[in-house]
Structure 1
């Protein structure tokens, strides 16, 4: 299928290509100087004392976060009902039980402190929040709730690199921030992620978890800085490689401008769809909130045939997607969740449709997409 307007396009040019070639020519591909540079640059970008550890993907970051926070058998972890399955999978993989918190409202699809508080039990050990579509959760309220109740707080920032509240970047409010650099993300390197902690001891534990618990790296031995190593604690191999770090440095430099363009495109979508039966969430951001505008979700009218709309868009050459399917419909989670656990999220999941959004998209392409969408819905 050749799409006229696809859901996402890479924001790549000769700079990413040159960075890859330079890395290959350097003769060093495993974790090395480019990883260190990417971690330092990302930490500077986030500020707030963020200590960054580059990892193989965003799910690895989530798994490491829960391990580092000692979440395990018998614990419960509250997660958003509207999110990708990776959040629930990571909780299951450490032996804990995921518990769903509902969306705040039909206009704010994130979890709120109130929706989280309703799900806290004596078994609750941690909370994972997701800044859906790049729009920040109410982190001051959620962080205060977690402090008050003695809960660990993990931010899944896969949608939101560059999003902030009152000047503080998402990913620095909780105990651990988890970023994804998957192909369709705002900062894209194919596969990869970053796990972030502001506490030095927690950051060190994350670094041990990333690479077998080893106290020195292959690079240290190559550079003659160490002759051997110790294993401080059991760890995994969740390392990133130099090629992806090199691409990441270029993409990080492009991120602010890319996010700004995403904002402009989102505002054009809003203008084009104003007064229609379609709704767009997060339409009333406060002045101190900055979104990363990761995806463009719309809420179809009730009783609208979503699959019919998708097929009509496909006929028009416009790619669309769904973010996300409900947990209650997955074979692996039917024994864990029902539609009544988070009724608002269930409704949103049944009516949501994601439209194309990427920094190189043109205004004309937005107009073509919204025209096709309004025609399909009509």
Structure 2
């Protein structure tokens, strides 16, 4: 189905095309100098000592879990209202993800109080995710982690370059994990970053990113090394210079992109103000946000009514989504989970269109059509 107003759209132009062409003309397209430049640029932007560019955020999350020394029998507290990679990365190490609830329908982030309730002698880490680019209560999570000697890993897939109480999101924990997937705030199709201030962990991260090898192909091609050793098991989680060149152009646009999205969020809140029967999560917040997505929560009716509202919008040419189907309901994670707020939100959540070229006229149309849907849909 073709949509008049899609869920997202790329902010690409000739600069991205030229950057890729330049990298191709250089005749070095795998991980090399462009990747190094990308890491340096984001280290400066985020105010963190080490940035390791990887093939996607899932790889960054997996590496963080490995570097946190997670193993079978360990537990990691995670949200269920997130993409499944957050929990899968824990399972890759043999550890068990333990799901904690979100705060409310108005704040879709991990609830620190429920995290405390879920801590056991087997808990080794906490892995909050900044939903929609809005900050979790990081001071609380730092305090909880310190008091219980837990590793704090930030899933920053929804955010990038957002200030929170004097620090950037993704730099509060021992590790931060960022995403450059195609529909993210900035993108290189597939890509991610792992951040840390720990020198030893950064050194090991670079090893396990590339098979545990002590030197890279680019270093050998430049004559800086002629051989390599393999000092531990690792993976092929390297990004390449083609994608790094895309990410560099996108980084140069980031300030404008974030400003643009803040404005679109304000326009949405204004346009949705007289739509009854919905909750706008994070409405009126004074905290910064990357505004990755525009979520709303319907006031009752369940999954059937939510889906009917989405169908109404689709028939009118407006694409929506659901961020996210709760992980604890997937077959692989099924069990006895006490997550009443997550259960409610995942059945009533709709993600509205959000992208850089979205116009005020389109935002008003989305709001008006949503109002029509809510008033007309009965189940």
TM-score (ref. length: structure 2): 0.96
Partner of 1:294: 292
The alpha carbon displacement at 1:341 in A equals 1.8
1:312 and 1:80 mapped to 2: Cα distance? Answer: 30
Partner of 1:239: 238
Partner of 1:230: 229
The alpha carbon displacement at 1:328 in A equals 3.4
Q: Does 1:316 align with 2:313?
A: no
1:306 and 1:121 mapped to 2: Cα distance? Answer: 36
1:309 and 1:111 mapped to 2: Cα distance? Answer: 27
What pairs with 1:45-60 in structure 2 (closer than 5 Å)?
45-47=45-47, 49-60=48-59
2:29 and 2:188 mapped to 1: Cα distance? Answer: 15
What pairs with 1:54-203 in structure 2 (closer than 5 Å)?
54-203=53-202
Partner of 2:6: 6
2:68 and 2:367 mapped to 1: Cα distance? Answer: 44
> Once the two structures are superposed, what CA deviation does each residue of 1:101-160 show, in whole Å capped at 9, x if it has no partner?
111122111013222111100000111110000001011111121011100011000001
Could you tell me which runs of 5 or more consecutive residues in structure 1 were left unpaired when the two chains were aligned.
none
> Equivalent residue of 1:118, what SS?
helix
Could you tell me which runs of 5 or more consecutive residues in structure 2 were left unpaired when the two chains were aligned.
none
> Equivalent residue of 1:368, what SS?
helix
1:308 and 1:220 mapped to 2: Cα distance? Answer: 56
Q: Does 1:365 align with 2:362?
A: yes
Contact 1:132 1:159 in 2 (8 A): yes
The alpha carbon displacement at 1:179 in A equals 0.7
Runs of 4+ in 1 over 3 A off after TM superposition: none
Partner of 2:279: 279
Contact 1:112 1:142 in 2 (8 A): no
The alpha carbon displacement at 1:284 in A equals 4.0
Partner of 1:329: 329
The alpha carbon displacement at 1:343 in A equals 0.8
> Equivalent residue of 1:341, what SS?
coil
The alpha carbon displacement at 1:17 in A equals 0.4
> Once the two structures are superposed, what CA deviation does each residue of 1:26-71 show, in whole Å capped at 9, x if it has no partner?
1001110000000000111101x33101101110111111011100
The alpha carbon displacement at 1:306 in A equals 1.1
Contact 1:259 1:359 in 2 (8 A): no
Q: Does 1:220 align with 2:204?
A: no
> Once the two structures are superposed, what CA deviation does each residue of 1:237-291 show, in whole Å capped at 9, x if it has no partner?
10000000000001011112111111111111111111422111112423xx311
> Equivalent residue of 1:203, what SS?
helix
What is the RMSD computed on CA atoms of the aligned residues?
Answer: 1.1
Contact 2:133 2:291 in 1 (8 A): yes
Partner of 1:36: 36
